[in-house]
Structure 1
């Protein structure tokens, strides 16, 4: 890992473990990264380091896309910061445990520790988009988003993450034929 990621490296190594229960019989061990979906306090220097690093990585790796797409709960904050830094539009994929009636497009997402719905709004067939998410674990969230985008005629040019847990992101890149870049891997 590059020395320029000193704060990111420190926040990864100091992340606390918690256990999340999907139900009484199913538990999932979860790391509380400050920059992740269940993180809380983020030091301003870490915010700057991650935002600047995302902007550099995106500029170098993904020169041609119309806007950034980021899912809640963890990706949308970083998507917004990167979009601001790059002067690009963004589209937030909203998540909810409730199924909304009369919504244009929604898909069910299931992870190791929860189930919810992802809501798509404001997309036009032919859009070229970059997905930005905080943490890529199994890749299930990205896969369900990418599959729905294909149905909608949206061109996914790649995925940018902050952290990949394991090497599932490599299989994700191979399966979809797109670059998947991360700032760090654990």
Structure 2
């Protein structure tokens, strides 16, 4: 069994405000992230994502950073981190991120009209973050070559009614306090 699947099956479940969710090294940074798991995920991303002629990897802070850094190191594609802090640099674009849990402003720097980008994130849940990012990149004039999230939580999300196709490595649900793998290979 692959390490990603096993790590999700072994993930602790916590309840917060009546919502059950899994705690996982990729989505939460705890428990600790074993190098073998990160390596497996990076190899799967490189095999699955459309990387040809990609100029930049774009990821939201914070939990996309470790995955995207590893992919950047393996592909030599520069990394742009979307921050929750405004820097006021030339060309900075703000976007409003809405998730099932919160709403906040985020800021994109160093993405220009015509850039071909890969958007990487840890989890697709409500889709609010990825929807805001893809909308902002479209506004900038960037060409989104691909969007990939490592883990997809089953259920409707904000990208369902868009043309954005999010590839995933594995799809899960939380049922009766346990992680259930709904698709071992994710979405293409």
Band the TM-score falls in, shorter-chain normalisation: 0.7 to 0.9
Kindly state the Cα deviation for residue 119 of structure 1 after the two structures are TM-superposed: 1.1
Aligned to 2:6: 10
The SS at the match of 1:184 is strand
The SS at the match of 1:129 is strand
TM-score using structure 1 length = 0.80
Higher helix share: 1
Q: Work out whether residues 157 and 179 of structure 1, in 8 Å CA contact, stay in contact via their aligned partners in 2.
A: no
Kindly state the Cα deviation for residue 85 of structure 1 after the two structures are TM-superposed: 0.8
Q: Work out whether residues 7 and 49 of structure 1, in 8 Å CA contact, stay in contact via their aligned partners in 2.
A: yes
Q: Which runs of 5+ in 2 are unaligned?
A: 173-188
Aligned: 1:55 with 2:46: yes
The SS at the match of 2:58 is strand
The SS at the match of 1:160 is strand
Write the distance in 1 (CA, Å) between the matches of 2:156 and 2:53: 25
Aligned to 2:185: none
Write the distance in 2 (CA, Å) between the matches of 1:117 and 1:38: 22
**Among 99, 105, 120, the residue aligned to 1:117:** 105
Write the distance in 1 (CA, Å) between the matches of 2:99 and 2:70: 26
CA-based RMSD of the aligned residues comes to 2.3
CA gap 1:37/1:155 in 2 versus in 1, 3 angstroms: farther
Kindly state the Cα deviation for residue 20 of structure 1 after the two structures are TM-superposed: 3.6
The SS at the match of 1:175 is coil
CA gap 1:147/1:89 in 2 versus in 1, 3 angstroms: same
Q: Work out whether residues 173 and 180 of structure 1, in 8 Å CA contact, stay in contact via their aligned partners in 2.
A: no
Pairing 1:88-107 to 2, within 5 Å after superposition: 88-96=77-85, 100=86, 102=88, 104-107=92-95
Aligned to 1:138: 126
**Among 117, 123, 144, the residue aligned to 1:129:** 117
Residues 14-72 of structure 1: per-residue CA shift (max 9 Å, x gap): 11122345xxxxx54322111113534012211221122222222xx443321111111
CA gap 1:62/1:179 in 2 versus in 1, 3 angstroms: farther
TM-score using structure 2 length = 0.80
Q: For this pair of structures, how many residues does the alignment match?
A: 170
Instruction: Flag as ranges the 4+ runs of structure 1 deviating above 4 A.
Output: none
Aligned: 1:172 with 2:168: no
